[in-house]
Chain A
């Protein structure tokens, strides 16, 4: 439960609750948002970014932790991997077993390809599993893909790649229908109407959900479908380098058994990188809501093979990570809590912002409240602001929390905090990598036969992603990559396999004077003996 200081602050929250109930808070103007972001959003903290000295994005900025890995030393540089001994020989190799990888595998299989999924943990161990709030698509009468486009473009600071965003919004309803027909249990009214809510920055209620297990429900259905199709899945096996053929086309990957260390060669006609995000790199020392395996491996592999990064310098800090208790510090408190009406309130009980600003703006606003404004609540890990969860049942009736956000209720109940009675303490947590490898609308990179899907892609969301557009993008672009990679695999005759590009990269690195390179990709974070 709470400390005495926290309890005292809760009194302030309770004292203002009734007066806040009916209040519609003002949204910030475009100018106010810009000023706030520039001063408080972590993306604008210049000294935590470094300039790449090697590779296709030489001269561009990226977080220091990512730069170290991108310019790192190959894990197999000194290993003698025999590329003529082929362990797996397939049409389509999917690297990563999350929502994008599973969608890609299903569609590639549907289109007649022989598919291999390699994943460093288990199939379904991914950020998808942890997406709580929902998935956007413009399927209601008062909504349209054009409105969805505008919301995402404005939220993304007009930096979204138009061809990608167009595809996202136009294929959105089809993606949700596909999931529904696979058996995903979306929240519906008795007549079948999808129950939808707002997310930060949406102008229509288009957030479709499965309680607050949206991503978990989607992921377990996709996983089941992959298994039903007898697609080969090799788990606890990480891709540590891409393999090219002598013509410079993607032609497979060197895999490493995570437990035995054995190297395996997978030859493929097309390769899809679906390795997800990078929260476990803990940029700027932030905690993360991400999966244990979110270490940017795919970015490293693709970059070394010649694929370009787009917006590698923009990250998403989810405004409401757990600030207390310490055991779940940084875990996600779904945005759906705010969609359902809970306000963000400071230590004095003041609602300091509209609860449904976009994520970057909300995160910056909370950081300002806890720093310059001095109105944060002290916690063992730093500070936080209140998210006034008891408002939800006052607005939607008793039982609403258990029905709509059971996962949140359970997570806090384990630490004796009943979120129906007590507000909770939140602070921004590293949540999503807005940037990633650049693709065209069909998921292709400039490296022939190399595709990317999911969080490893950059450009769909511009410089800030809206809630619910990530679950959507993994399905839309995962399926797309699966389809195109499958089609393209037909008729390809892979040439002799080579790892020459790794040696070239290694030389370039040394020529650029990058010393003491770390071994990369990272594969897993190290938390032993309290090293974080």
Chain B
């Protein structure tokens, strides 16, 4: 007999196998998911979930696809959270101190409660990356926020109304575009291709008889 546990999905009790994830338990119970389900692998942030174990004062957060059910678990899903997303033109903005002040000024209202960090299912130091953004340290903000899946749990808990994932995304784009060193070899290769330097070589391959191509492939040298 399978080991079973009691879970309360949106407040209603179901008995489900203890081996299931929360997402698996919802499906086992009969929910045909439309919202709150995405990659099912912990990368997309669609299944942000809040839960409490009966008798426990602490409210916990997780991704439903990545977390096993527990006995007496009360589950509420957060299939959507209204983050603030500002529009900007990447060609116009620069990684200046002023850009955050202009687009996301609420980050300067952070009261340091650290609820965002406590809420992060990816265990990121959310408050710290916001502090980096405040100081204009976008590369650090990018690094610290890199594994963000943009589930929005942090923002749901923020008394200052900060949309942390959007702030971090802006910092990462600024970093990738302006702060990271330029790949000179990439730029010159693209110029070479545009100049037609490689077209002939590729075209000659498309023209060769298949047996000759097979020979080339089977005897090509492989970089160590």
A residues near B, CB below 8 A?
29-30, 121-122, 124-125, 129-130, 137-142, 144-147, 149-151, 153-154, 158, 162-163, 166, 169-171, 173-174, 176-177, 180-186, 188, 190-194, 198, 203-205, 210-211, 213, 215-217, 220-221, 224-225, 227-228, 230, 236, 258-259, 289, 291-292, 326-328, 331-332, 406-407, 410-411, 414, 524, 526-530
Contacts and interface: CB of A to CB of B under 8 A. Distances in A.
26 contacts: A139-B186, A146-B204, A153-B213, A153-B217, A154-B218, A154-B220, A158-B210, A166-B206, A177-B190, A180-B176, A180-B177, A180-B186, A181-B177, A184-B176, A186-B180, A191-B181, A193-B183, A215-B43, A216-B44, A224-B173, A331-B40, A414-B42, A414-B66, A524-B32, A524-B34, A529-B28
Interface string B25-43: 0011011111101111111
B183 A139 contact: yes
Contacts of A154: 213-214, 217-218, 220
A122 B46 contact: yes
Given A177-B190, A228-B90, A150 B205 contact: yes
Contact of A176 (B46, B173, B186, B222): B186
A185 B172 contact: yes
A331 B41 contact: yes
A130 B185 contact: no
Q: Which of B21, B142, B193, B210 has the most CB of A within 10 A?
A: B193
Contact of B42 (A158, A192, A221, A410): A410
A183 B176 contact: yes
Given A183-B173, A407-B42, A138 B189 contact: yes
Nearest to B27: A527
B44 A149 contact: no
B81 interface: no
Given A327-B21, A528-B27, A292 B37 contact: yes
Interface in B15-62: 19-21, 24, 27-28, 30-35, 37-44, 46
Contacts of B150: 220
Contacts of B205: 146, 149-150, 153
A220 B185 contact: no
Contacts of B126: none
Given A150-B216, A414-B67, A122 B34 contact: no
A210 B31 CA distance: 35
A326 B19 contact: yes
Contacts of B3: none
Contacts of A327: 19-21, 24, 68
A153 B198 CA distance: 17
Nearest to B166: A224
B77 interface: no
A150 B213 contact: yes
Nearest to A406: B147
B199 interface: yes
A185 B171 CA distance: 11
Given A228-B88, A331-B40, A173 B203 contact: no
A50 B163 CA distance: 50
B185 A203 contact: no
B147 to A, nearest CB: 6
List 5 A-B pairs, minimum CB-CB distance, nearest first. A183-B173, A192-B181, A154-B217, A146-B201, A185-B176
Nearest to A211: B146
A91 B154 CA distance: 38
B89 A228 contact: yes
Given A158-B213, A182-B90, A184-B176, A411 B42 contact: yes
B79 to A, nearest CB: 10
B102 interface: no
A192 B169 contact: no
Q: Which of A139, A177, A289, A328 has the most CB of B within 10 A?
A: A139
A203 B218 CA distance: 11
Contact of A170 (B198, B214, B221): B198
B187 interface: yes
A125 B218 CA distance: 39
Nearest to B186: A139
A510 B38 CA distance: 36
Given A129-B39, A173-B190, A220 B169 contact: yes
